[in-house]
Amino acid sequence: MTEAAANDRILTIPNLISFVRLLAIPLFWWVLLVRDDVALAAWIVFIVGWTDWVDGYLARRLNQVSELGRILDPVADRLLIASALVGGLIAGVLPPWFGWGLIGREALVGIVAVGLAARGGGAIEVRWLGKAATFSLYGAIPAFYLAAAGVLEELMLPVAWGLGVVGLVLYWYTAILYIGDSRAKLAALESTPHPEEV
């Protein structure tokens, strides 16, 4: 199979995992808002969030990296985190500074990504530091939920604050890096001669 054909594959194990992660988002909302079960919602975010590394690992290990996967994986991440943040603010289980700080960062990076794609720059390449920040948040958010539900509150609250502060700082730092990456991509596009100019 050629590299181009491999990149165009849709039916891969990593893509299936990312799709299941997307399906878990409505389940999260139903558990949080309909069943009013904050603890179970926390476990959904934790389990689904921490499977994020599985699809990336399998994509590389099984040589199943695909263009769809490059799009699906970050979309699943963003939607799950956004759902957990908005849901947590609605349910009153997340500190406002934490929730709004992350929502602001998501909005900023989303605008940058859309602007880059609209100008033909493609997608923002995910950085390792961004993944580390996401993993930290996938620990912090469920910990805030569990503490609010009274599950091991004495343990969960310090874990939530520790991972939350670290994750938020890393998240904003990588946002600045992503803005720089986008500017560099756009500058490279502008410096590339158009066919009619050659």
Residue 143: CATH number of its domain: 1.20.120.1760
pTM, 2 dp: 0.74
For range 19-36, the mean pLDDT: 89
Of residues 57 and 109, which shows the higher confidence score?
109
Domain span including residue 16: 3-191
Q: Is 196 within a domain?
A: no
Q: Is 90 within a domain?
A: yes
Q: Is 198 within a domain?
A: no
Which has the minimum average pLDDT: 34-38, 71-75, 106-110?
A: 71-75
Q: Is 143 within a domain?
A: yes
> Which strand (E) or helix (H) includes residue 48?
helix 38-50
**CB-CB contact of 88 with 35 (8 Å):** no
Q: Is 86 within a domain?
A: yes
Query: pLDDT tens digits, residue range 144-192?
Result: 999 998 888 889 999 999 999 999 999 999 999 999 888 888 888 777 6
Query: pLDDT tens digits, residue range 41-79?
Result: 989 888 887 776 666 666 667 676 666 666 677 777 778
128 pLDDT band, cuts 50/70/90, is: confident
Give the number of other Cβ atoms within 10 Å of residue 25's Cβ: 19
> How many domains does one find in the chain?
1
